[in-house]
Amino acid sequence: KILDACTLTIFGVGGNLSQRKLIPALFRLEMAMRLPEQLVILGCDIAVHDHDAWIGFVAGILHGIYQKDIDEAALQRFCRRWHYLAIPPGDDAAYGRLAELLQGGGFPPNMVYYMAVRPADYPAIVDKLGNAGLLRQNGGWRRVVIEKPFGYDLLSAQTLQSSLYKHLDEPQIYRIDHYLGKGTVQNVMVFRFANLLLEPLWNHHYIDHVQITHSEIHGIENRADYYEGAGALRDMIQSHLLQLLTLVAMEPPVSLSAEHLRDEKVKVLKSIRPITQNSVHAHAFRGQYSDGIVEGKSVPGYLEEKGVAPESVTETYAALKLFIDNWRWAGVPFYLRTGKRLAENSSAICIRFKNPPQDLLHRNNHQGHSQPNWIMLGIQPNDCLKVELQVKVPGLDLLTRTLSLDATYHKDNDDDFDAYASLLLDVMQGDHSLFLRMDEVEAAWRVVDPVLKVWAMERDFINTYPAGSWGPRGTYRLFDRDDQFWRHSL
Ligand code: BG6
């Protein structure tokens, strides 16, 4: 598909997100010749750079990634697309200069504005763009990409939404959750809706529980400023993990159009049984990493990280038990868990099946008790599908053991695009399917808000776990039975 000529303006272009994700993703598209031929990129940030210094900075990031294997021709094409504009804090004339620049010719009139800034800055930037006439759709379209978290809780999300609506119509807003751009996440839908085999089993009759995990070995890096006010529940669960849950649990949509898909996802979120303030203890667990050993090196605890308040109780680990009160999932717990400084980098969906109704072979298992079936979908770093089944151990005795059918479906020559690459293209194409609708955002806040409220009141204690471990032991209290346990390594 030939894409419209457009201008992509990135606010916060010097920041962490832009350096780690946006610039590399755009360059990956450049190498694959997938960017619109006439795409111009304007980077905006508070620091003052001249053009050459900025291009040097971009090239430095990419050299750091590709080293001597960099595609020089693509790099030259890429650098030619870039412009830079400094917007120093408090410089009210800056948006006038931005308007002059963008409207002064040379910049394609279709515009994407990407907010890669602190969430607190979204409304002010959109306001200034609106007041400078830069959001009016005359002569071309205007689209605004809002990074997560969309708000801080339900109320602030609604306030942010009202401030966006002063200048934008809904079709102009792209609320990004980069997990939806991951091929392995989209594969959850393919796995469910392109394979008839699973559908009869995909319900409370056969599934015991579902686990959705995202674990990271790194700490908060240099993001204390953001993380202290966010915590793991807001940072990962309200957005990415609840999105994964919707894909696992939703009904087949009427079609894959943006509205049909999002209608089904919203239904799942709305069916989640509200956690009452009294039940927070039974449904939620939080923890914070203390110092420990990660990959053979000693690392500091959260409280020793730069920018963290000495008595902070911000959680770096969070786990939830949720129930989806609908026909398909009645009584099936969904366990969601995430943490920084855990033992491994791993994101996966693990589905545990019930035991057979009559367990004829339970005495024969070499582990001494029956083992259930599991289906595991690896999201990252291993994009794999594993199915655990029971088989007979070769030999004279009728003994059983677990066999893992392990399909890694990523082939070496498959194209490998980061989630941001795919989502940036979607914005340029005007495809909302993988972006969040406001009712989804609201429903997701409704799920976590009661927990956030209770945790905000309990400010004198938080469980800790050593960096490099699998999190606090206390998290096991979320399980209903002794034979339920977290699946760690796939
Ligand atoms: C971001 C969170 O949205 O997702 C980070 O703010 C987290 O804290 C990151 O590390 C994880 O994304 P990915 O793509 O690296 O799994």
Is 205 one of the catalytic residues?
no
| Ligand 1 atom index nearest CA of 223 | 8
CB neighbours (10 Å) of residue 266?
21
For residue 1, pLDDT over 80 is answered with no
From the alpha carbon of 380, which atom of ligand 1 is closest? 16
Convert the pLDDT of each residue in 416-452 to its tens digit.
789 999 999 999 999 999 999 999 999 999 999 999 9
DSSP category for residue 343: S
- Residue from 313, 289, 151 nearest 215 by CA: 289
> For ligand 1, atom 13, which residue shows the shortest CA distance?
179
In sequence order, what are the residues at sequence separation of 6 or more whose Cβ sits closer than 8 angstroms to the Cβ of residue 203? Answer: 328, 329
- For a ligand 1 pocket test, name from 20, 182, 212, 216 the mutation site with the most ligand atoms within 8 angstroms of its C-beta: 216
- What's the mean per-residue pLDDT of the chain? 94
| 111-125, 254-268, 347-361, range with the lowest pLDDT | 347-361
pLDDT at residue 362, as a whole number? 67
Ramachandran bin of 231, using left for φ above 0, alpha for ψ from -120 to 50, beta for the remaining angles: left
pLDDT in tens, 27-71: 999 999 999 999 999 999 999 999 999 999 999 999 999 999 999
**Beta-carbon neighbour count of residue 444 at 10 Å?**
29
Annotated catalytic residue within 209, 240, 283, 432 = 240
Give the position, in ligand 1's atom list, of the atom nearest the Cα of 235: 6
Rounded to the nearest whole angstrom, what is the distance from the C-alpha of residue 401 to the centroid of ligand 1? 37
236 close to 215: Cβ distance less than 8 angstroms: no
pLDDT of residue 132 exceeding 90: yes
- When pLDDT is averaged across residues 397-415 and rounded to a whole number, the result is 83
Listing DSSP states for 116-129 in one string gives: -S-GGGHHHHHHHH
DSSP letter (8 states) at residue 12: T
Flag whether pLDDT at 123 surpasses 90. Answer: yes
User: What value does the mean pLDDT take over residues 256-265?
Assistant: 96
CA distance 234 to 213: 15
